Amino acid sequence: MKKAKHIGLIFGILTIFILAACGGSDDDNATDSNGETDYSEEVDYTIIGIEPGAGISVTTEAAIEEYDSLQGWSVELSSTAAMMTELRGAIENEEPIVITGWNPHWMFAEYPDMKYLDDPEGIYGGEETLNSLARIGLEEEKPEAYKLIDQFEWNVEDMEAIMYEAEETGKEVEEVAVQWVEDNQDRVAEWVEGVEDVDGVEIELASTPWDSERASSGVLKEVMEQKGFNVTVTELDVAIMFESIATGDADASLGAWLPITHKDFYEAHQDNIVDLGPNLNGAKIGLVVPEYMDIDSIEDLNPR
């Protein structure tokens, strides 16, 4: 009995210590030497990222290498869905968080009070374009497909409208894309201008596993099928997407983010792919934080 009491007491004291330790980091904000909130410590020097195969993950590793303010930081790589869940939790509790963010995406429609951190070293670059790629030989072998893919271009608002509606309604992005084609026949008319109908020509579109590319691939697939093509869309890791165009396994892709996000992949394969140029202007990537965090630049973070 006596022993049990003793153990109870020890557990009691331990509990108090543990509670005090947790309470300390929960209630009080970490502060730096100037007495200002040290967000870096609060987020445990961790950037919340997405899939390891994404270009933005590669770029973020480069940012950690490059910035003194990010020395000792790491990037947590899992999935876009997991990042969005962590973001939602942080915003609900007004806690600091640093994520890898990009446009087009619905994250800024859902959480308008977020900002890109300034990137004075230009690691994430400025404006990105989404370029269309074709395999060498597509132009000669399937000229109508080549012409249509080359003529396909739209803008951030179009793409985000599809992504946001899918997110809001829970419908598949591909389904919303089909409806978009129906509702925007004037735009579609520009892409199919001078393109003859075909009879079941097979087209392999290589895509990547994000809603932006589900939207563009979904729209192009529908437009091409209305012209008589038989289109298959395959979602691949970025590296494999580039490789499949370079080897000719796939005919085309709409998902090359340039000049920064997919730089390494592009440079590895540029001699073996045909770059048809931008199908969308005004994309962007970078480190993103909620507005309530009182910092503006990557340089306002602190090394570990």
Cα–Cα distance list, 49 to 149, 175, 218, 282 (Å): 31, 28, 26, 22
CB of 92 to ligand PBE, least distance (A): 23
Binding of residue 261 to ligand PBE (CB under 6 A): yes
Judged by CB under 6 A, the residue of 212, 216, 217, 302 near ligand PBE is 212
Q: Which of residues 101-120 bind ligand PBE (CB under 6 A)?
A: 102
Q: 244 and 250 in contact (C-beta within 8 Å)?
A: yes
In order, the DSSP letters of 73-107 are -EEE-S-HHHHHHHHHHHHHTT----EEEEESSTH
Judged by CB under 6 A, the residue of 191, 210, 242, 266 near ligand PBE is 210
Applying CB under 6 A, the span of 54-62, 90-98, 181-189, 274-282 interacting with ligand PBE comes to: 54-62
Helices marked H in the chain — which ranges?
2-27, 39-42, 55-66, 80-92, 107-110, 138-141, 143-151, 156-169, 173-183, 185-191, 211-226, 238-247, 263-269
Cβ proximity to ligand PBE, 40 vs 57, nearer residue: 57
Distance (Å, whole) CA 260 – CA 271: 18
Distance (Å, whole) CA 6 – CA 185: 79
Applying CB under 6 A, the span of 52-60, 112-120, 157-165, 274-282 interacting with ligand PBE comes to: 52-60
**CA dihedral for 159, 162, 167, 173, sign (positive or negative):** negative
Cβ proximity to ligand PBE, 50 vs 280, nearer residue: 50
Q: Is 13 exposed, middle or buried (0-12, 13-18, 19+ CB in 10 A)?
A: exposed
CB of 261 to ligand PBE, least distance (A): 5
CB of 30 to ligand PBE, least distance (A): 30
Tokens 């870096």, located at residue: 40
Binding of residue 152 to ligand PBE (CB under 6 A): no
Applying CB under 6 A, the span of 47-55, 141-149, 186-194, 270-278 interacting with ligand PBE comes to: 47-55
Cβ proximity to ligand PBE, 228 vs 278, nearer residue: 278
Judged by CB under 6 A, the residue of 45, 48, 55, 279 near ligand PBE is 55
Judged by CB under 6 A, the residue of 64, 75, 117, 285 near ligand PBE is 285
Tell me the residue type at 40.
S
Interacting residues toward ligand PBE by CB under 6 A: 50, 54-56, 102, 208, 210, 212, 238, 257, 261, 285
